[in-house]
Amino acid sequence: MENKIRGRVWRFPDNVDTDQIIPAEYLTTSKPEELAKHVFEKVRPEFAKNVQNGDIIVAGKNFGCGSSREHAPRALLGIGISAVIAESFARIFFRNSINIGLPVIECKIDVEEGDMLEIDFANGRIRDLRTVKEFKFKRMAPFLLELINSGGLVPYVKNKLKCR
Amino acid sequence: MPTIAEKILAKKSGKRRVEPGEIIEAEVDYVMVNDVTGLPAFEVFEEFNTKPLKEKIVLIPDHYVPNKDIASAEQAKAMREFARKYKIPNYFEIGTSGICHQIMIERGFVAPGRLIVGADSHSCTYGALGALGTGVGSTEAATVFAIGKLWFKVPETQKFTIEGKLNRYVMGKDIILHIISDIGVSGSLYKVMEFYGSTIEELSLSDRITISNMAVEAGAKAGIIPPDEKVFRYLNGRVKGDYEAIYSDEDANYSEEFEYDAEEIIPVVAEPFLPSNVKPASEVDVKIDQAYLGSCTNGRIEDLRIAAKILKGKKVHRDVRMIVVPASKEVFEEALREGLIEIFLDANAYVSGPTCGACLGGYMGVLARDEVCVSSTNRNFIGRMGHKDSRVYLASPAVVAASAITGRITDPNEL
Ligand code: SF4
């Protein structure tokens, strides 16, 4: 993970569930590129067409609630989302994201659709480049940060197996 | 003093005590994947280049089996081949099986004090037997296949106490919907719910399973009910291996405590599009197109019995399709023996073998635009059972059966 990233904001409300992120009828594949075509298809059909690499999702409470499908963060990674910032996350979505290396930040921020954000992971700061507002977030527990930095759970497990 | 979840996590991580917020690595007793979450887990596992911990793995195809289309057939095949390649003993083929959470319980994988993860969000269901069951992702499942352990953040625990005698036709479903309407869909986010009180003690195991099943609909990591004689009796002759029941200390540290009076709970429905949009069934005047009885939430024999009691000698309304899906082969056989299937068929309901199917908008009952379904399942999100403009009302089996007869959402007490 890069220490600083920049991206455009897509705003979402509270309680965005995994059925909205990737509808169940597309769960017959687990490839991020394939899943990416159907991201938010039922609720925001324009999303998949207009999203740009590096864009950031900013949402309200309980983002990613619903099913445990890892397809949801995979689809977001597949379509080029670089981070999700939400007031709170559903726990399985949060775990899945960390485990596959999608940065998730728990923070309430007041920004608008289309704003350009800069996220500084090392210092726990988010800056809105349009309004110049700054927001602070609590840095992750060291174990989780290490997990994200090493690329997720797969390299972590490989390392453990090697040490046996 | 520790709660049930804290005690289980301490034991499984080899510590004397763990505190909420702490991140630990714990030994998992069983890991389950289904046909949707299995394939990505198998792909990740192959990257590890190691042998799987066979005895811990449970493979249950249920979401799209019998295969819905070619893509789902390929997924189910991948699971079968993984089972064969590594000689995994616990693979459950259709015809012997059913919905994953029901099979985990029926086949004795779930027992008090165990730590069980499933690559399915409703793995919190196992809390009804005093286990710490929780949903994980596919990469995490693959991790347990390989090293048998996983990281966990020790959650805080909330205590829910329900006292008193339930009204007629009030089921476990109404209790959990009542609670979710009170605390909201993120009311238990990251937390464990523990359930107590005379109402819970009196409930059948089946109704308790419904309650634990929907803990995730309040955002919870698990929904645990202290195990009692009912659980021990059910497990007798069924459970695999030994188990040790674990209880919270008298003065355990709860982050919050909630109390409810059973007499205030009535038959309800959760209106679209959140399980917290709860209204008395008697106050919702909505015409339905489909009535669905099944799923890991309410597809057990007790659920079929109450629906059959209501439907006996009656007909499903001519504008309604009623679909009945027993949650497992065992449930199906018992329903046949008791004559329940005959009652459903006589009433003009459609009965199928176990599958998740329509519960997640997969197949076998997908909704068209603007259609309304009253459903004994657990989620009523946008497009959950089909078209984005279709609507799902969550309800107990009793409300589903009563509504099927009248063609509108109906409180069974009004029949
Ligand atoms: S019955 Fe529905 S909720 Fe239960 S495991 Fe299947 S899809 Fe999930």
The boundaries of every CATH 3.30.499.10 domain in chain B are 4-260, 269-414
Query: For residue B237, how many other CB atoms are within 10 A of its CB?
Result: 7
Ligand 1 atom nearest to B294, measured from its CA: 1
Whether A25 has its CB under 8 Å from any CB of chain B: the answer is yes
- Please tell me the predicted confidence (pLDDT) of residue B234: 98
Contact B382 A19 (CB under 8 A): yes
CA trace torsion A103, A107, A108, A111 (10° rounding): -40
Q: Six-digit token pair at B93? A: 């083929």
Report the gap between the CA of A132 and the closest CA in chain B (Å).
31
Per-residue pLDDT at B276 exceeds 90: yes
Contact A68 B136 (CB under 8 A): yes
pLDDT in tens, B200-242: 999 999 999 999 999 999 999 999 999 999 999 999 999 999 9
Contact A28 B388 (CB under 8 A): no
- Please tell me the predicted confidence (pLDDT) of residue A13: 97
Check residues A74 and A144 and name the one with the higher pLDDT. Answer: A74
Which CATH number is associated with domain A4-162?
A: 3.20.19.10
Provide CB contacts within 8 A for B231, sequence distance 6+. Answer: B112, B128, B129, B130, B205
Provide CB contacts within 8 A for B21, sequence distance 6+. Answer: B153, B154, B156
- Please tell me the predicted confidence (pLDDT) of residue A116: 98
Which residues in chain B touch residue A161, judged by CB atoms under 8 angstroms apart? 48-50, 146-147
Provide CB contacts within 8 A for B5, sequence distance 6+. Answer: B132, B154, B155, B157, B192, B194, B221, B222, B224
- Please tell me the predicted confidence (pLDDT) of residue A1: 61
Mean pLDDT of B165-183: 98
Whether B391 has its CB under 8 Å from any CB of chain A: the answer is no
Q: Six-digit token pair at B64? A: 């799209």
Per-residue pLDDT at B182 exceeds 90: yes
CB contacts < 8 A (A, B):
125
CATH 3.30.499.10 fits B269-414, yes or no: yes
Per-residue pLDDT at A113 exceeds 70: yes
Which string of DSSP letters, residue by residue, matches chain A? --SEEEEEEEE--S--BHHHHS-GGGTT---HHHHHTTTTTTT-THHHHH--TT-EEEE-SSBTBS---THHHHHHHHTT--EEEES-B-HHHHHHHHHHT--EEE------TT-EEEEETTTTEEEETTT--EEE-PPPPHHHHHHHHTTSHHHHHHHHHHT-
- Please tell me the predicted confidence (pLDDT) of residue A122: 83
Whole-model pTM?
0.94
**Per-domain residue ranges for chain A?**
4-162
Per-residue pLDDT at B91 exceeds 90: yes
Minimal Cβ distance to A27: which of B36, B50, B142: B36
Q: Which residues line ligand 1 (CB under 6 A)?
A: B 62-63, 99-101, 120, 122, 295-296, 356, 359-360, 377-378
Cβ proximity of B387 and B362 under 8 Å: no
Mean pLDDT of B133-142: 96
Report the gap between the CA of B383 and the closest CA in chain A (Å).
7
Mean pLDDT of A127-149: 88
Q: Which of A134-143, B39-48, B269-278, B373-382 comes out lowest in average pLDDT? A: A134-143
Mean pLDDT of B382-403: 97
Mean pLDDT of B134-142: 96
Q: Which of A67-71, A130-134, B278-282 comes out lowest in average pLDDT? A: A67-71
- Please tell me the predicted confidence (pLDDT) of residue A148: 78
How far away, in angstroms, is B356 Cα from ligand 1 center?
Answer: 5
pLDDT in tens, A1-43: 667 999 999 999 999 999 999 998 888 888 888 999 999 999 9
What percent of chain B has pLDDT above 90? 99
pLDDT in tens, A46-97: 999 999 999 999 999 999 998 888 999 999 999 999 999 999 999 999 999 9
Whether A38 has its CB under 8 Å from any CB of chain B: the answer is no
- Please tell me the predicted confidence (pLDDT) of residue B136: 95
Mean pLDDT of B346-357: 98
Q: Six-digit token pair at B313? A: 């000698």
Q: Provide the ipTM.
A: 0.90
Contact A27 B47 (CB under 8 A): no
- Please tell me the predicted confidence (pLDDT) of residue A149: 77
Per-residue pLDDT at B49 exceeds 80: yes
Question: Residue A113 phi/psi, 5° resolution?
Answer: -50, 130
Express the helix, strand and coil content of chain B in percent, nearest 5 each: 40, 20, 40
Q: Six-digit token pair at B334? A: 């018992």
Name the CATH superfamily for B4-260.
Aconitase, domain 3 (3.30.499.10)
Contact B139 A42 (CB under 8 A): no
